[in-house]
Amino acid sequence: MHERVGKLEAAGVITGYTAVVDPAAVGLGVTALIGVIDSDEVDDVGILEAMAALPHVEDCWRTAGTEGYVLKVRVADIPALEDTINALNRIRGVARTRTTVVLSTKWEGRHGRAE
């Protein structure tokens, strides 16, 4: 078993290991998905670096459609979410954002999903 896992790691199939932490237990009780609508003069590298520098952004996806990116953020409360949205809107190349607040999480990733 260890040899097989070692081969998968060496081949780049297994890229890492993570601990699953309850966000509310560490003071991050609000999760939101934020669509970022970029402006015509967007610099992909600059906007990505600026979004990555925001501490509450957990995930970032490049998407097709109205939003150029969708971010998952976790914050302590609504005022912290507002601060994060304001910081996003100050990034050069961000025209506007669209935010969806998560009311409850049924599952994330593959954890807990019936297959």
Give me the mean pLDDT over the 88-93 stretch: 95
| pLDDT-based confidence at residue 115 (cuts at 50, 70, 90) | very low
pLDDT score at 62: 95
Give me the mean pLDDT over the 36-65 stretch: 92
| pLDDT-based confidence at residue 20 (cuts at 50, 70, 90) | confident
Class of domain 25-101: alpha beta
Domain ranges of the chain: 25-101
pTM across the whole model: 0.82
Residues 6 or more apart whose CB falls under 8 angstroms from that of 33 comprise 70, 71, 72, 73, 99, 100, 102
